[in-house]
Amino acid sequence: MKNTGISPLIEKYSEVFEKDSTSRVFAPLAEGYRQAGLIEKAMSILKIGIRHNPAYLQGYITLGNCYFDVGEFNLAYSTLRPLISDNRDNIRLQKLFASSCVEIGHNDEALESYKYLLFLNPKDEEVSKAVRELESKDTEEDLIIVPDNTERFDLEEIEVRPEKVKSSLDEWIKVDLDKNEIKTDTKIDLKETDKKEVTNNWEMEKPSAPLKIVNVEEKENVSEPVITHSLVDLYINQGHILKAKELLNKIIELNPNEVSSIKKLEEIKSIESKTRVEVEAEEEGHQRLLDSLDEKLGGEDGSTSSSVEELQKFLDAIQKHAEIRKNSQL
């Protein structure tokens, strides 16, 4: 499937996709067409690819970009929102979602995503500027005076219902992909900055190029450590100790003099070490108890069954106690 005037890399992806429509190559292929302004072609490929790979994140990111390019910001938001909480470290996803939120007026969600991005790269001036603008906008809204004749809602009369959650990715994406509202037979002029060359490693967008170094101590509104430590605590409470340590290591790498993060990391390591020693001690105690019981029982066949049952109850109680203590420490 040759395409005159199209990047050789896109032609290569097209050949692979033509032979195997279930291949994940559909995502970079669709992204290539999108960046070339061929949105309709990209959408048709995504429709096939996502049905065969319903859990492939990069396919949804490209789909969200297509919706965003043609001004369908609500569709972009609906496509990306279910993916945000589990992919906080994906820069492309977070930036696109935040931009979509801004376009439809969901400033709180946009601000949350921008703050996560600022945590991942505190020196990203573009993201930092977006955070300041959104926070300033919130402050201005708080200062708006409500007229006395404004009709007010009685909150007690409002029926609170849980938000309807769709059962699977297939359901919500199927609705969007089956719509034929977007017509893009002609090329769309994208901004020059968006016409990037498609490469094999397009999936992972690197943080912004090195920017001017900002002295963190001189900034009055530095909130990165607070955001970071909240996320670390969340990971710890959920039992994701490794992720918590990775986040802290990133902070320390970006800010070697960030004392609170270094202290937090040492606390986690101390808890891990203490827990490991206690578990080893309990296991050693269990083994000694078993050895002692074997010697005591000797050849007393008549009492063996009841003794084994008592031992099992004792071991179960110890194990339960150890789990409770471990959870309380976390």
Within 8 A by CB and 6+ apart from 17, the residues are 23, 25, 26, 29, 45, 49
Q: Is 39 exposed, middle or buried (0-12, 13-18, 19+ CB in 10 A)?
A: buried
Q: How far apart are CA 91 and CA 124, in angstroms?
A: 12
83 vs 152, more confident: 83
pLDDT(146) > 70 = no
What is the rounded average pLDDT of the residues 160-188?
A: 45
Within 8 A by CB and 6+ apart from 38, the residues are 184, 187
**DSSP state for residue 192 in the 8-state scheme:** G
How many CA atoms are closer than 13 Å to the CA of 118, on its beta-carbon side? Answer: 24
CB 46 within 8 A of CB 177: yes
CB 131 within 8 A of CB 118: yes
Tokens at 272, concatenated: 């891990």
Q: Is 77 exposed, middle or buried (0-12, 13-18, 19+ CB in 10 A)?
A: buried
185 vs 293, more confident: 293
Q: Which amino acid is at 85?
A: S
pLDDT of residue 162: 41
Q: How confident is the model at residue 170 (pLDDT cuts 50, 70, 90)?
A: very low
pLDDT of residue 286: 62
Instruction: Return the percent helix, strand and coil in the chain, to nearest 5.
Output: 65, 0, 35
Classify residue 298 as left (phi > 0), alpha (psi -120 to 50) or beta. Answer: left
Tokens at 107, concatenated: 């400033």
pLDDT(149) > 70 = no
Nearest to 42 by CA among 16, 64, 22: 64
pLDDT of residue 109: 93
Q: How confident is the model at residue 180 (pLDDT cuts 50, 70, 90)?
A: very low
Each domain of the chain, given as residue ranges in start order, spans 8-151+166-194, 222-329
Nearest to 78 by CA among 53, 54, 56, 106: 106
112 vs 324, more confident: 112
pLDDT(206) > 60 = no
Within 8 A by CB and 6+ apart from 330, the residues are 236, 237, 239, 241, 271
Tokens at 221, concatenated: 């509104």
149 vs 18, more confident: 18
What is the rounded average pLDDT of the residues 299-308?
A: 56
**DSSP state for residue 267 in the 8-state scheme:** H
For all residues of the chain together, what is the average pLDDT?
73
pLDDT digits (tens, 9 = 90+) for 263-298: 888 888 877 776 666 656 666 666 666 666 666 555
Q: How far apart are CA 219 and CA 258, in angstroms?
A: 14
What is the rounded average pLDDT of the residues 72-76?
A: 96
82 vs 322, more confident: 82
Angle at alpha carbon of residue 211, lines to 209 and 212, rounded to 5°: 170
Is 1.25.40.10 the CATH classification of the domain at 8-151+166-194?
yes
CB 14 within 8 A of CB 20: no
Tokens at 127, concatenated: 């993201």
Q: How far apart are CA 189 and CA 108, in angstroms?
A: 31
pLDDT of residue 261: 80
pLDDT of residue 60: 96
The model scores a pTM over 0.85: no
